[in-house]
Structure 1
Amino acid sequence: MAQAWSQQAGGPVPPPPPPPPSGENKGLKRVVIGVVVLAVLALLGIGGVAVSKGIGGDELPEAAGGDGSQEKLLSESDISSLLRGRTQALKSGDEDAFLSPFSGAARVHQKKIYENLRKVPFAQADYRVLRQTGSGSNDYGDGATVALDVAFVHKIENVDVQPVAEWYRWVVKRASKSEKPSVTKVGGSPSAYGAKGFVYYPAPWDVYDDMYVKRQAHTVVVADKKNAAQAGRYAPHIEKAAADDLSFWSANAPSGASTPTAFFVNVEPNRKTYATMYASADEDPGWDAGMSVGMPAFSEAYEDVRDKPQFGGARIKMDATSNYFTTKDWPGGVKAISHHEMAHSITQALDKGDYSILTMGDGGPRTWVVEGFAEYMGSQFDPRAASEKMRSGYSDPKAKFDGKLPDTEFGSYPHSVHMDYALGYLALKYIEKQGGQAKTLKFVVDHYQNPKKLDEQLQEAVGQSGTAFESGWAKYVRSVVR
């Protein structure tokens, strides 16, 4: 699930809520349901070739009237060989072999992608067929054409704790047995798990003709080569924030939590290009300056998936035209947005996505925990800015504190989004005041891994649960902002 920061220097702000009553929380529910569908369907077997109609648009129709006697030009073996060859060529660095099946514009684009991919420190990178549309038979005597939904399954070193996937749509043609299969078109899959938002296409390596990559101890910073000087200027500050977050997490989080030790960060000054990355939304909300996009774990084994994180990692993208990058104190701004988004990326891998469709996602991690922790993490390295932001958010003239935790969508009446970020932060500070930093981070880890047991987790962390915790926290809030 994407987590984002606003363009405003005052702090992170999600999109404004739709007007009540009919639209209230609709956006949040839509996102959560999508994650639910993804989490459930990601478990289904997706290795090998399944001959079925793809979901979404642009499917090729199945051949009509075929009795199975037509010449088979694109068999399962042909397709498996096609995918296996791309995997082996990418791993070995054989560009000619990698490009051999692509033709026309698809070949030109794949050459750029290949060169970009070779710059990324992958621990795993391979191509697998998820779905096939078209029989692969020479039904009408003019060759065979199939559409393949292909998963680029990959794991970036230290960034991903489990392999993740980007979904492509490949159009493959073969005129006769004497010719080799040819990939004539490559783009993003029309849908994944029934929704456009989960194909995670395009990634930076799909967009840039020449991708700049700056590898540091805890970060991989990427940008368009034409923006290399700008990205290189930001990279040390992004790296410093990564080292900060990881050091604090390592010192205080419980052992055994499966979390990343590095981050993949895309810095992009073109708003249209920024909004396109990872297809994280159908439309650009316009308010975000940075976003941590959760990447679902790829699994072919239904039986053991419950023992693995439901999310394999995250990708961070930042709008380099936002205030965090353009003010006089831009180094501080870059570190501030990085601290926040990296906190989301650390905890993303803990989220198993075990939400109930029937309850519209109410079983997921509480928003005040998710955003409160990201703010709490940043506050460790700039307490003065955190205090100012907290007081500013609480004092928002458009809002009124009613003593209630922001459990659902931020900005729900009578709160404002500014206030709710402050309240989430203060909830984590209240837990820290009662139990210390280690207990605070243990609470966060426990809650992400089992969000349905909030009362028990609060009881363990501060000796209070439910209404008792909320009441004690409300008193604390009023005491620190009066």
Structure 2
Amino acid sequence: MSYSTPPGGPGNAGPYGAPVQQQGWYQPSPPPPPGSSGEGKGLKRVVIGLVVLAVVAVLGVGGLALYTAVGGGSLPGAQGGGDEEQQILSSDEIETLLNGRTTALKSGDEDEFLKPFVGAAKDKQRKIFKNLRKVPFAESKYMVLKQTGDGSDEWGSDVALALDVAFVHQIKGVDVRPVSEWYRWTVEKESESAEPRISEVGGSPGASAMGNAVYYPAPWDLYNDMYVKRQAHTITISAKKNSADADRFAPIVEASAKKDLDLWRSNISSVPNTPEGFLVVLEPDRKTYIKLYNGNSFDVGWDAGQSVPMPAFNAGYSGDNDELQYGGARIKMDTSTSRFTSSTWQRGAGDISRHEIAHALIQPQDPGAYGQNEKTSIRAWVVEGFAEYVSCRFDRALGDASVRADLAGEEFSGELPGQDFELANSTVGANYSLSYLAMRFIAEKGGEEALFEFVVDHYRHPTKLDQQLQQAVGMNEVEFETAWAQYVRSSI
């Protein structure tokens, strides 16, 4: 299971409809009815969220290309005061602030990194600096997205401005291209001869009033002391106080990643921009889990995990790769759910890990070309069905049990799940299981290699579903849906 989205139907998420303001989730269907809170009938009652943020649907690109759409402000030096005003805080000084933090972070010079911060901002940045130094970055730098205020003053003193700053970073083995997290710095300068100071740091207000479009806060922002466990294919993160649980779950997360990668490589020989590893945050506190990468997002109450797509930060790059919309993904999982607390926690943790890692594995293939017309978007049943197929590929009994539980008592219309996961059937669990059966049907009909090739090609070219089904199983869309419906009825 992968996602959840904001109220109002499809769209906030990007891939499954027109952009809607607000939280930027994809919500396939309402929460389960009373008594089915995600831990009851069928494992698929728990929606494991794939957050596809609306900013991608609105803007389509990452990095400085977002600047004009974020709107309203100016880059350093772009605004000038009147003739009577003095330039107190210059664009060169702002550039020095950013470059200095970039250099100090890379070198590990904590004192230099903290030098311009004051007050509570300094204490907070000290913790963030220590946390960031635990992460294996291939690239990390600070860049201005937007400036509010021009640093000039009629009286030659006391200026303050707001900088929306992108923390551009690429984690070794996890990201195929740099991604970004957006901060807002309040920069002050008392006089022309004084040093600029950063008095406040928080998440950027975001683009188009969508506060969660900034991928803030990351775990390094939330945790006073961040625990990082590196393994061959995974980086598992938690708060230091939860490190014992992280150590217990991390081997299962790692084993799940290896299984997913081995399955991928055995079925599809060479796919550009395939991640080699995955970052997974394990968090038992529900409020903290909800905040991660989403800011002040609401709690739908029934998601157990999410794979959060991270748009590529394209500034400074050239060539065909600039078409790449996603640089990677961030996985977070709520370890307070029964998947991690029941007597069968090894099975539950493996199931959710394989599912979310499957989403992250294929995420860079998503072209980000979304619209209101379903035929222009990646089909939800392909996205969720693929992740479920990968997960259940290693536990067929679990898949069969989920199908029976999720479809028991359901009125099956014979239609593939729609983009909002409500059009054809009434529950989230049913739609996940039906999507899983669609993938399993393709694999059994055309072979597993045909299934993987179908999914990758559909991600890249969502408008060509008919041709893709012809290639995979020798059927057009109508024929496929009819044959699949018969397969579903024989499987219940």
After TM superposition, the score normalised by the length of structure 2 is 0.87
**1:279-309 alpha-carbon deviations (Å, 9 max, x no partner):** 1772111111111111111112697466542
Alignment equivalent of 2:391, drawn from 367, 378, 382: 378
Alignment equivalent of 2:291, drawn from 276, 279, 285: 276
- 2:483 equivalent to 1:464: no
Match of 1:367 in 2: 380
8 Å contact from structure 2 (residues 46, 304) kept in 1: no
Match of 1:238 in 2: 253
8 Å contact from structure 2 (residues 2, 307) kept in 1: yes
- Specify the code of the residue in structure 2 equivalent to 1:36: A
Please give the residue correspondences for 1:275-424 in structure 2 after superposition, counting only pairs within 5 Å: 275-279=290-294, 282-300=297-315, 304=319, 307-356=322-371, 359=372, 363-395=376-408, 397=409, 399-412=410-423, 414-424=425-435
Match of 2:10 in 1: none
Match of 1:3 in 2: 3
Please give the residue correspondences for 1:191-202 in structure 2 after superposition, counting only pairs within 5 Å: 191-192=206-207, 194-202=209-217
Distance 1:248 1:415 in 2: 32
- Specify the code of the residue in structure 2 equivalent to 1:260: P
> Structure 1 382/191 Cα, relative in aligned 2: closer, same or farther at 3 Å?
same
- Specify the code of the residue in structure 2 equivalent to 1:392: A
Alignment equivalent of 2:142, drawn from 127, 145, 148: 127
Distance 1:394 1:401 in 2: 8
Q: After TM superposition, give the deviation of residue 42 of structure 1 in Å.
A: 5.5
Residues matched between the structures, number = 455
Match of 2:73 in 1: 53
8 Å contact from structure 2 (residues 417, 424) kept in 1: no
**1:102-145 alpha-carbon deviations (Å, 9 max, x no partner):** 01000000000000000001111100000000011123443211
> Structure 1 230/257 Cα, relative in aligned 2: closer, same or farther at 3 Å?
same
Let me know the Cα RMSD of the aligned residues: 2.7
> Structure 1 431/43 Cα, relative in aligned 2: closer, same or farther at 3 Å?
farther
Distance 1:220 1:466 in 2: 40
Match of 2:442 in 1: 431
Distance 2:320 2:228 in 1: 33
Q: After TM superposition, give the deviation of residue 41 of structure 1 in Å.
A: 7.0
Structure 2: gaps of 5 or more residues: 5-27, 29-36
Deviates more, 1:133-142 or 1:464-473: 133-142
- Specify the code of the residue in structure 1 equivalent to 2:43: G
Match of 1:448 in 2: 459
- Specify the code of the residue in structure 1 equivalent to 2:403: M
Match of 1:223 in 2: 238
> Structure 1 183/156 Cα, relative in aligned 2: closer, same or farther at 3 Å?
same
Q: After TM superposition, give the deviation of residue 327 of structure 1 in Å.
A: 0.4
Q: After TM superposition, give the deviation of residue 470 of structure 1 in Å.
A: 0.6
After TM superposition, the score normalised by the length of structure 1 is 0.88
> Structure 1 287/139 Cα, relative in aligned 2: closer, same or farther at 3 Å?
farther
Distance 1:80 1:462 in 2: 56
Name the SS for the 2:339 alignment partner: helix
> Structure 1 203/32 Cα, relative in aligned 2: closer, same or farther at 3 Å?
closer
- 2:488 equivalent to 1:473: no
- Specify the code of the residue in structure 2 equivalent to 1:105: A
Match of 1:59 in 2: none
Q: After TM superposition, give the deviation of residue 69 of structure 1 in Å.
A: 3.6
Q: After TM superposition, give the deviation of residue 45 of structure 1 in Å.
A: 6.5
Match of 2:11 in 1: none
Match of 1:38 in 2: 59
Match of 1:22 in 2: none
Match of 1:77 in 2: 92
Distance 2:308 2:491 in 1: 33
Name the SS for the 1:349 alignment partner: helix
> Structure 1 190/51 Cα, relative in aligned 2: closer, same or farther at 3 Å?
closer
Alignment equivalent of 2:280, drawn from 253, 262, 265: 265
8 Å contact from structure 2 (residues 52, 308) kept in 1: no
